[in-house]
Structure 1
Amino acid sequence: GGPAFTHMTVLQTENYPDGGYYYEDMTQDGSILIINCAYPGGRRNGASMEEYAVKSIEHLTMYEAEDLSVEKNSGYSETLGHPVYILTYTTSENDHTFHWKIFMTEADGYTYLYAFDVWREVYADMEDVIDDVFGRLFFLEM
């Protein structure tokens, strides 16, 4: 199939000297924010994946994560060739609730996050689309 989302607005594009990057796009109606980022580093000092996930999502939101779930996904892990964790949580801002669903992996000294921040009102309709996008992610060597 074609792209999952069309008519996207680019909000931020950053490439860093350390090889990291941060790209942020939003649907035109503002209901879905998509973040694709990587930064050097990974878990240290025997931190659990849950502890590391909390630290990693600080890169994505200034709001406290509520109801955080961190689950290893064997299908995505097998496809990608690296352990993949799916993080889900909610954030609240004023009277709005946002559902986050994040594909997280570590490879070659970097942490990679592909995140969807979705309005509560549209999340149920988008979850299958998000899972389909996650199923198509791969590393491209350049």
Structure 2
Amino acid sequence: MSYAMNRAIAAYRTAATTVAPTAAMTLLLDEVLNAIILAAGHLRKKEFDQAHARIARATGILRGLRQNVDLDVDRTLARQLIDMYTRNIFALNSAASKSDASDRFCTIATGLLELRNAWAEMTTLSARNQQTLLEDIRAERIVAECV
């Protein structure tokens, strides 16, 4: 197991012991979405090493989540989750090298956002807006700079 995967699993376990599992899932998926936004920004600036680091962060979290799926609760659902995590890991790793990386990131993020918001419904956390997320990935949203 790689160092990054160990860190992702450790982060998941730490979060699972300090907050409710549903909130932990929401926050971890938020972190994945934020990493996708940052990776897209680094790719636009041709900062390939930083983009790779952000993608590695996102895939590390997804690997940690995949590793912790409980097959004993509902085997069918567990297999679907494992498959979904695996496909997203593969898609994120391959998207960065494509000319339409931003569009690919948007497609991946849209699916992950749906899962994130489903988890958020079981917590006191708010749903995250899809349009804002996509604008952030494409750098279409104007955000005031801090002085």
Output the TM-score relative to the length of structure 1. 0.26
User: TM-score scaled to structure 2, two decimals?
Assistant: 0.25
Higher RCO by CA contacts (8 Å cutoff, separation 6 or greater): 2
Report the structure, 1 or 2, having the larger helix content: 2
